[in-house]
Chains A and B, each alone.
Chain A
Amino acid sequence: MGCHRCAEKAVIELQHGAVCKKHFLEHFEERVFWTIRRYRMIGPKDTLCVALSGGKDSLSVLYLTKKYLQKQGLKNEIEALAIDEGISGYREKTLEDAKMFCTEQKIPLKIVSFQEELGKPLDEAYPLITKDTKKKPCNLCGVWRRYLLNKHAREMGFTKVITGHNLDDEAQAIMMNVFKANTDLAGRLGPISGKKEHELFVQRVKPLYFCPEKEVRLYAFLKGFQIDFTECPYSHTGYRHDLQEMLNAFEQKYKGTKQGIINSFLALLPHLKQSQTITKISSCSSCGEAATGEVCNACTMKVMLHA
């Protein structure tokens, strides 16, 4: 089958027709650049911290953010920040890919670890915390990862954190909140998340927001990004894994399901934000970072490690 634009061999069938490598890359990149412009993700004075795991999404978003800046003639400072959770047999490999990529792209990379910052790697921390709670490893990992990303991005003086969250990630998060009736949490999703103006928060932006995961994988493959396939050993323990399979089954049978979820959500988002409970943000009495109570979630979990 040929590309509907030029008759070269097609590499993927999109909703508007099959496309070749050249036209797919153009389409993918233009959609990312459109997302950055549409949601004003990068202002002239913004300094950018790209959350980098070494996987296909974060390498792609780092590459495309740099390309966007070059294309627009912007001189914004850009660096990468990676979190080493201490998941044996997984994170070491992706960090090697991250280091190599940053060297090739000439982008500074900082790596911080759960071990150094919080006292234990995830592999050791998770069993200690879950012996008295029903928390999955992903609960702990997510809280600590976001905590360290925000803390270090802020300390390094960045005004925006760029993440590689894609359309599939967002559709899953939206549906998780629906199934669990987390309407307050739902209001925090979207192409831009986090408090806009609060001294303790760095806003997060998602240039790959409208990119299906399959297209991100194809983009990374066609661009020749060195990515060793890895999967977090804990990924099958989470609720999200089951939801992912469900959405993929739906998408296979009913094309456009995931995009429909995103479109519906974005239409509702202003109403969700309006009806959100106003949460007072204070400074954690233990670490000084943002907290909704006296002590932040990260420190609460740290205490459980030593209980």
Chain B
Amino acid sequence: MELTVCIERERSTLQVQCTGTTVNDLLKQLQLNPEAVLVVRNQEVLIEKELLHEKDTLEILSVISGG
């Protein structure tokens, strides 16, 4: 499914063809550790098992910040 993904740490937005169906699948595809990110859709935080939908716009917030 096609997703729009805004990655906070890189200040970039990607169009991603997600091969899976869940948040966990997306993070694996993007090689991101769930320990290090929060995934947000329409200002709501999603857990790893949450199902994604075609044309979702997601923000991936970095947990690690600062020095």
Interface residues of chain A, those whose CB is within 8 Å of chain B, are 1, 9-13, 18, 21, 53, 55-57, 94, 138, 141, 213-214, 217-218, 221-222, 227, 229-232, 234-235, 244, 248-249, 251-252
Contact = CB atoms under 8 A, between A and B. Distances in A.
A248 B65 contact: no
Instruction: Report which residue of B44, B47, B66 has the largest number of chain A beta carbons within 10 angstroms of its beta carbon.
Output: B66
B32 to A, nearest CB: 10
A249 B63 contact: no
Contacts of B12: none
24 contacts: A1-B47, A10-B47, A12-B45, A21-B45, A55-B65, A94-B66, A138-B67, A214-B35, A214-B36, A217-B38, A217-B62, A218-B38, A218-B45, A221-B40, A221-B45, A221-B61, A227-B65, A229-B62, A229-B65, A231-B62, A231-B65, A231-B66, A232-B67, A251-B35
Given A18-B47, A141-B67, A251-B35, 17 more contacts: A1-B49, A1-B50, A11-B44, A12-B45, A13-B48, A21-B45, A94-B66, A138-B67, A214-B38, A217-B62, A218-B45, A221-B61, A229-B8, A229-B62, A230-B65, A231-B67, A248-B35
A229 B9 contact: yes
Contacts of A218: 38, 45
Given A13-B48, A18-B47, A222-B45, A252 B64 contact: no
Contacts of A230: 65-66
Nearest to B8: A229
A29 B63 CA distance: 18
Interface string B1-43: 0000000110000000000000000000000011110101000
Nearest to B50: A1
A10 B50 CA distance: 9
Contacts of A9: 44
A208 to B, nearest CB: 13
Closest 5 CB pairs of A and B: A232-B67, A55-B66, A248-B35, A11-B45, A217-B63
A229 B61 contact: yes
A231 B64 contact: yes
Nearest to B35: A248
A94 B61 CA distance: 17
A119 to B, nearest CB: 21
A180 B50 CA distance: 41
A86 B45 CA distance: 34
A240 B66 CA distance: 13
A22 B9 CA distance: 27
A251 B63 CA distance: 14
A252 B35 contact: yes
Contacts of B62: 217, 229, 231
A214 B47 CA distance: 12
A115 to B, nearest CB: 18
Contacts of B35: 214, 248, 251-252
Nearest to B66: A55
A248 B66 contact: no
Contact of A231 (B9, B47, B48, B50): B9
Contact of B67 (A1, A18, A213, A234): A234
A227 B61 CA distance: 11
A227 B49 CA distance: 27
